[in-house]
Amino acid sequence: MASDKPRIFHSSRDMALSLIPLVLLCLAIAGIASQCSFSPGGPKPGPVPTIDVDAVSQVDARELGFPIRKPVLPDGWQPNSAERVQVPGGSVSSRIGYVSPNGRYVEIHQSNASEDALVRKVVGESTAVGTETIGTRKWVVYGGEGEKRAWFANFGDASILIAGGATAAEFAEVAQAIGDATPLPR
C-alpha cells in the first residue's frame, strides 16, 4: 500500500498515477461544459465575423473631436472589427478593420494624432519609403521588406492611416474610397 511506504520511497510515478484521475475529471467537465474542442490539424476556417460599420462610424463621428469618413468600398470588402485606440500624446484613433475580397486584412485609422505618433502606434518604428498619389491626395508609404505596410495622409481636419497585409492595389482601392468620402455629420 502506498501510504505504508516511507515518504522517501514515493516516486514521480506515484504522483503521475494520482494525477491521471484528476486530469480525466477536468477533461470530462470541460467537455460537458463545451469549453474545449479537439481538432487535429488545426482550426477549420469559418465565416469572417462582421460588424455594422455604419453604426460604428456614426457613433465615432458624434463622440470624437475630429471628422470621421465612412469609405464606400467595392463589393467583397467585409468590415470585421472596430475599436478606439489610444495614441500617445492624448490622441485617439477610430480603427475599422476590413477583409479584402482576396482575404487580406486592412485597417483604417482615423485620428487627431500627428503622423509620427499614429505611425509609431500602429506599425512601430518604420521609415517612409515613398509616396503614392491617389486622386488628388498624396499618401506617404511606410514599411519595407518584412515590415507591416502602411499609408498615411493628412486630410487637414484628421489624420488617416491605412495599414495591413493587403496588396498595393488593395491599398490604392481603400485610399481612393477614403478620398471620395465626405465627413459624416456630427
Question: Is the pLDDT higher at 45 or at 55?
Answer: 55
The mean-pLDDT minimum among 28-37, 119-128, 137-146, 158-167 falls in 28-37
Total domains, the chain: 1
Query: Looking at the domain assignment, is residue 61 inside a domain?
Result: yes
User: Which CATH number fits the domain that encloses residue 142?
Assistant: 3.30.200.100
85 by Cβ neighbours in 10 Å (0-12 / 13-18 / 19+) ranks as middle
Expressed as residue numbers, the domain containing 104 is: 53-180
Question: For residue range 16-26, what is the model confidence (pLDDT) as tens digits?
Answer: 777 888 888 87
Query: Looking at the domain assignment, is residue 96 inside a domain?
Result: yes
Query: Looking at the domain assignment, is residue 25 inside a domain?
Result: no
Spell out the residues 6+ positions from residue 87 whose beta carbon is closer than 8 angstroms to its own. Answer: 93, 111, 113, 117, 118, 121
Average pLDDT score over the chain: 87
Cα–Cα dist 4/39, whole Å: 43
Query: Looking at the domain assignment, is residue 73 inside a domain?
Result: yes
Query: Looking at the domain assignment, is residue 67 inside a domain?
Result: yes
Helices of type H across 65-126:
115-123
Query: Looking at the domain assignment, is residue 34 inside a domain?
Result: no
